[in-house]
Amino acid sequence: MHMNKILLIIQREYITRVLKKSFWISSLLAPVLITAIYAIPIWLAMKDKEVKRVEILDLSGLWKQSDLEDKEVEFVFTAGKEQELKMSFASKGYDAFVSIPVDVLTNPKGVHIYSAKNIGMSLKESVEKIIQNKVRHELLLKAGISPQIYESTQVDIDSKTITVSTDGQETRSSSGGAMILAGIMGIVLYVTLLLYGSQVMNGVIEEKSSRIIEVIISSVKPYQLLLGKIIGVGLVGLTQFLLWIVLTIGLTQITSKFYGEKVKNNITQIKKIDSGKQSTLSSKSEEESPMSEVTKVLESTNIPMIIAAFLFYFFVGYMLYSSLFAAIGSAVESATEAQQFTFIVMIPIILSFLMAQYTMQDPDSTIAFWASMIPFTSPINMMVRLPYGVPAWELILSMTLLVLGFLGCSWLSARIYRVGILMYGKKVTWKELGKWLFYKG
Amino acid sequence: MILSVRQVVKKYSDHLALDHIDLEIPRAKIFGLLGPNGAGKTSLIRIINQITAPDSGQIIFDGEPLSAKHVDQIGYLPEERGLYKKMKVGDQLLYLAQLKGMSKSEAISKLKDWFIRLDIKDWWNKPVDDLSKGMQQKTQFIATVVHEPKLLILDEPFSGFDPINANMLKDEILAIKERGTTILFSTHRMETVEELCDDIALINHSRVVLAGEKVEVQNRYKQNTFKIRYIGNLPIELKGMEILSVNDQSATLKLAVGISSNQAISQIISHVDLLEFQEIIPSFNDIFIQVVNETNAYE
């Protein structure tokens, strides 16, 4: 019977929100943005594949055609006067004209790039790279150092961080990727705790200021209404997460499919060029892009565990904060009046977000440990620590404390709420709120 | 009795809202709960609705101590009332009816009856925001009665109603009473009390200061005064009567103790041609003011 009424309340809270346009706009917009962030660099990379033509006047005579292999730029040697060539390259269909002075080895700044339009960054880089490599090569030879020896001293330290659990099991982890994953989860929790918490508060204010509250609580107990509202809005939040996850995966899959073939071609092309030039630079950057780092972390961590923990920390953390938001909503009659009280609930959320920056730097520090234990700061901070690996007992302790914290907060909130919703025309103070805690029935 | 309130006490931190209240509300009657603002009416109503609990005392509903299961048998129209502004009228009423324990199908069929009855058939899909105040009041009234409660509590139901809607509401209240529902009216509009109520209780300063059947209460406050209309000249003095006022062929008389109206009439007709002889029944307005002033003086 009572369960039925709570279900009815949950249903109403859920349906009225899910049917709102704003819900769908935010549910669709976020995945589109994420996909765009993912797809636009690829698209731009594709777009740059259009080969640029550059006319080159090499007065030093150091460059051979074989030095000028570049996947994006086609170099064509020319002869003549710089003064004339810089006027005529555009009409000959070149995108740019490069002049290399005779004394390029001693005067590398004497290189000029002329272009009709503003020259693109990537073209400028390609040209500079080619000139720079050759100049360095020549200077090394001059100094009596073999370029091969020089190459071998270009050591790139990319240490693999390996987590060793007490039973000796090794997991390769990459702290860069973990950091990105942790950061994303921290931000999402921060935003959603504030967002859905204040939705609950506004719902309470709406019921109180529209005066429907008295009719409702003559049918159900205040705590049932409160519980139904909190769960209903929380389910809206979970639905949104689900939509975000499904839509983001779907959209990025479609984008990958769409670009897939071209990307594959590209990579092989790059590899071909790289192997020809004995350079490992570009292939490295391809493999170690941030996205692949995250993928690597996702591979090395227990994804179902992370998702389960995320949903747990979102839902319980949200319930804790939203019960406090609801208590504030019940004590006031308008959203503007609520502002003087909301800061006290927002402070711990903001504080946990600030602490999370620190936790991310040093996930095993004492501060990070306590931040991930204290119920108010634990949802964000534990989720930030989790990708780095957290002992099971710490996770269980943190979850238990969070549940206890929620029970305590909701008890306090329910006591304020049941008095607040019927209190009109009274200027509410902190002292007053304190008194309400001790009111009988 | 549908409802018995026994020795109910409710204290708030700074004052005593209800001081050992006793009330007996008979079945299928309209019961007027009267009293000045702040007397404790709303506190009592909230206790009956189980919105708050009494500090001590007992409430018996339909023969059993009042408990959570009775919530569905009570309908409550608060004085300050509202609706969800963005929700559609039909969805909203359906929600409120289900919160009162009705099944969805039952609620839909009952609501449709009410929509036809109050001539608002095409409102179902209108958002409450689009309704006029009068329309919202009809909606609120339906929400209060759709689950066919045994006890209907109406707190100042007519406030804000235009005369046409007020009349419609009055008719509906009487029809609901005919079907066996008890109505508890909280009001300080005495004309409504005189017109509709069968029984009354007057609360002042947290106490019941007057209670009983309407007619009986009025009799209790009768001053034994009569109004007469006549042709002729009324003598300055009449035996066994005090002439309170004379005004162009009409007068107000107060009969002395032990003088019956027949005796008075036979006296009067020996002097004048009597056209009308009518007992003055005290208005509830007068009783209200008198009792409140008396108890205030006593306090």
Q: Are A215 and B100 in contact (CB < 8 Å)?
A: no
In angstroms, rounded to a whole number, what is the distance separating the alpha carbons of residues A263 and A252?
A: 14
In angstroms, rounded to a whole number, what is the distance separating the alpha carbons of residues B41 and B37?
A: 8
- From A46, A85, A43, A78, select the one nearest A63 (Cα to Cα): A78
B1 touches chain A (CB under 8 A): no
First to last CA, chain B: 31
In the beta sheet, which residues pair with residue B9? B56
Q: What is the pLDDT of residue A289?
A: 55
- Residue A212 has its nearest CB partner, among B13, B54, B82, at B82
B233 touches chain A (CB under 8 A): no
In this structure, are residues A203 and A13 in contact, taking their beta carbons and an 8 Å threshold?
A: yes
Q: Are B96 and A219 in contact (CB < 8 Å)?
A: yes
Q: What is the pLDDT of residue A65?
A: 79
Q: Are A218 and B74 in contact (CB < 8 Å)?
A: yes
Q: What is the pLDDT of residue B32?
A: 92
Q: Tell me the domain boundaries of chain A.
A: 52-148, 174-436
In angstroms, rounded to a whole number, what is the distance separating the alpha carbons of residues A381 and B106?
A: 50
In angstroms, rounded to a whole number, what is the distance separating the alpha carbons of residues B291 and B297?
A: 10
Amino acid identity of residue B115, one-letter, is F
A245 touches chain B (CB under 8 A): no
Q: Are B13 and A439 in contact (CB < 8 Å)?
A: yes
In the beta sheet, which residues pair with residue B204? B207
**What's chain B's average pLDDT?**
90
Among B51, B104, B152, B159, the residue to mutate for chain A (most A Cβ within 10 A): B51
Count Cβ atoms below 10 Å from residue B205 Cβ, excluding itself. Answer: 18
Neighbouring residues of B239: CB distance < 8 A, sequence distance ≥ 6: B267
- From B292, B46, B1, B79, select the one nearest B18 (Cα to Cα): B46
Q: Tens-digit pLDDT profile for chain A (441 aa)?
A: 456 899 999 999 999 999 999 899 988 998 888 888 777 777 776 665 667 788 888 888 888 877 777 777 788 888 888 888 888 888 888 888 888 888 888 887 888 888 877 777 777 888 888 888 888 888 888 888 887 888 787 776 666 566 665 655 555 555 666 777 788 888 888 998 999 999 999 999 999 998 899 999 999 999 999 999 999 999 999 999 889 888 888 888 887 777 765 655 555 555 554 444 444 444 444 444 555 666 666 666 677 788 889 889 999 999 999 999 999 999 998 888 888 888 888 999 999 989 988 888 888 888 899 999 999 999 999 998 888 888 889 999 999 999 999 999 999 999 999 889 888 877 788 888 888 888 766
Q: Tell me the domain boundaries of chain B.
A: 3-218, 223-279
- From A219, A142, A241, select the one nearest B76 (Cα to Cα): A219
In the beta sheet, which residues pair with residue B30? B183
Q: What is the pLDDT of residue B6?
A: 93
In this structure, are residues B193 and B283 in contact, taking their beta carbons and an 8 Å threshold?
A: no
Q: What is the pLDDT of residue A424?
A: 82
Among B50, B67, B91, B95, the residue to mutate for chain A (most A Cβ within 10 A): B95
In angstroms, rounded to a whole number, what is the distance separating the alpha carbons of residues B91 and B81?
A: 18
State the nearest Cα–Cα gap between B15 and chain A, in angstroms: 13
User: Which 3 state secondary structure label does DSSP give B88?
Assistant: strand
For residue B23, what is the enclosing H or E element? Answer: strand B16-25
A8 touches chain B (CB under 8 A): yes
In this structure, are residues A314 and A194 in contact, taking their beta carbons and an 8 Å threshold?
A: no
A272 touches chain B (CB under 8 A): no
Chain A residues close to B81, C-beta within 8 Å: 211-212, 214-215
B73 touches chain A (CB under 8 A): no
Q: Which residues of A411-436 are buried (b: 16+ CB within 10 A; e: fewer)?
A: ebbbbbbbbbbbbeeeebeeeebeeb
Chain B residues close to A422, C-beta within 8 Å: 46, 51-52
Q: Are A440 and B55 in contact (CB < 8 Å)?
A: yes
What A225-229 contacts at long range (C-beta under 8 Å, 24+ apart), as own/partner pairs, is: A225/A9, A226/A323, A226/A326, A226/A413, A226/A414, A226/A417, A227/A6, A227/A9, A228/A5, A228/A6, A228/A7, A228/A8, A228/A9, A228/A10, A228/A12, A228/A13, A229/A9, A229/A13, A229/A200, A229/A203, A229/A204, A229/A326
In this structure, are residues A399 and A407 in contact, taking their beta carbons and an 8 Å threshold?
A: no
For residue B5, what is the enclosing H or E element? Answer: strand B3-11
Chain B residues close to A9, C-beta within 8 Å: 99
In this structure, are residues B64 and B42 in contact, taking their beta carbons and an 8 Å threshold?
A: no
A343 touches chain B (CB under 8 A): no
pLDDT tens figures, B137-185: 889 999 999 999 999 999 988 887 888 888 888 999 999 999 999 999 9
How many CB pairs below 8 Å do chains A and B form together? 72
- Which listed CATH number (3.40.50.300, 3.30.559.10, 3.40.50.720, 1.10.3720.10) goes with B3-218? 3.40.50.300
In the beta sheet, which residues pair with residue A99? A57, A112
Tokens 């209404």 belong to: A225
Chain A residues close to B87, C-beta within 8 Å: 16
In angstroms, rounded to a whole number, what is the distance separating the alpha carbons of residues A350 and B43?
A: 41
- From B110, B138, B113, B109, select the one nearest B126 (Cα to Cα): B138
In this structure, are residues B171 and B17 in contact, taking their beta carbons and an 8 Å threshold?
A: no
Pairing status of strand B250-255 against strand B241-246: antiparallel
Who has greater pLDDT, A300 or B285?
B285
In angstroms, rounded to a whole number, what is the distance separating the alpha carbons of residues B268 and B234?
A: 8
Q: What is the pLDDT of residue A304?
A: 79
Residue of A nearest to B96 (CA): A216
Written as six digits, the tokens of A27 are 């549910």
In angstroms, rounded to a whole number, what is the distance separating the alpha carbons of residues B182 and B4?
A: 13
Q: Are A219 and B71 in contact (CB < 8 Å)?
A: yes
Neighbouring residues of A99: CB distance < 8 A, sequence distance ≥ 6: A56, A57, A59, A82, A85, A86, A111, A112, A114
Chain B residues close to A1, C-beta within 8 Å: 69, 101
Just give the CATH number of A52-148: 3.40.190.10
> Dihedrals φ, ψ of B82, to 5°?
-155, 180
Neighbouring residues of B155: CB distance < 8 A, sequence distance ≥ 6: B41, B42, B45, B76, B77, B78, B79, B186, B187
Q: What is the pLDDT of residue A272?
A: 52
- From B277, B273, B269, select the one nearest B251 (Cα to Cα): B277
In this structure, are residues A407 and A377 in contact, taking their beta carbons and an 8 Å threshold?
A: no
Q: Which residues of A62-92 are buried (b: 16+ CB within 10 A; e: fewer)?
A: bbeeebbebbebebeebeeeeeebbeebbee
pTM of the model: 0.76
Q: Are A218 and B95 in contact (CB < 8 Å)?
A: no
Q: Are A16 and B87 in contact (CB < 8 Å)?
A: yes
A263 touches chain B (CB under 8 A): no
Chain A residues close to B71, C-beta within 8 Å: 218-220
Neighbouring residues of B145: CB distance < 8 A, sequence distance ≥ 6: B75, B114, B152, B172, B176
